[in-house]
């Protein structure tokens, strides 16, 4: 396990801890009210983040390794949909949704 300490220009220190697979397992920052611990699956994707207060966020992915569901600390979910070019097209929240469209040049033409 490896630990790296980064100090930003304002003098705030952020500590990163890595496992033997060079994945960030923990981030300690006074700016984020403590720490975040990452739990990975066998495909090196973050599937859980445990916050300093003990609450947990969960992440689910599709076969293309794109995040499809984020379950927040309060149990609410955000669901992500992608097109055939792996672009996020729809995001469904507890209280609504957003939609993005793209043109033939791969430029986002709308986001509502």
The mean predicted confidence, pLDDT, of the chain is 93
Domain assignment present for residue 6? The answer is yes
Are 18 and 27 spatial neighbours (Cβ–Cβ below 8 Å)? no
Is 44 inside a domain boundary? no
Question: What is the per-residue pLDDT for 11?
Answer: 85
Are residue 30 and residue 74 in the same domain, yes or no? no
Question: pTM here?
Answer: 0.82
When divided into structural domains, the chain yields a total of 2
Q: Report yes or no: 101 and 90 within 8 Å, Cβ to Cβ.
A: no
User: Whose structure tokens read 């669901």?
Assistant: 79
Residue 77 has pLDDT above 70, yes or no: yes
**CB neighbour class for 69 (10 Å; exposed up to 12, middle 13-18, buried from 19):** middle
Average pLDDT over residues 67-81: 96
- Domain residues for 78? 55-112
pLDDT for 32? 66
What are phi and psi for residue 75, nearest 5 degrees? Answer: 95, -10
Cβ–Cβ under 8 Å, residues 42 and 49: no
In terms of domains, do 71 and 29 share one?
no
Do residues 64 and 11 share a domain?
Answer: no
pLDDT in tens, 25-61: 999 988 767 899 999 999 999 999 999 999 999 999 9
Do 108 and 62 have their domain in common? yes
pLDDT of residue 68: 98
Q: With respect to residue 47, please indicate whether it lies within any of the assigned structural domains.
A: no
């Amino acid at each position: 396990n490896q630990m790296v300490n980064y100090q930003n220009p304002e003098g705030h220190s952020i500590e990163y801890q890595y496992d033997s697979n060079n994945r960030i397992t923990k981030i300690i920052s006074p700016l984020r009210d403590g720490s975040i611990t990452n739990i990975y699956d066998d495909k090196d994707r973050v599937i859980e983040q445990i916050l300093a207060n003990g609450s947990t966020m969960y992440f689910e992915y599709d076969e293309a390794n794109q995040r499809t569901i984020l379950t927040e600390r309060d149990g609410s979910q955000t669901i992500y949909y992608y097109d055939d070019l792996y672009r996020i097209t729809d995001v469904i929240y507890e209280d609504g949704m957003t939609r993005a469209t793209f043109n033939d040049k791969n430029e986002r033409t709308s986001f509502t």
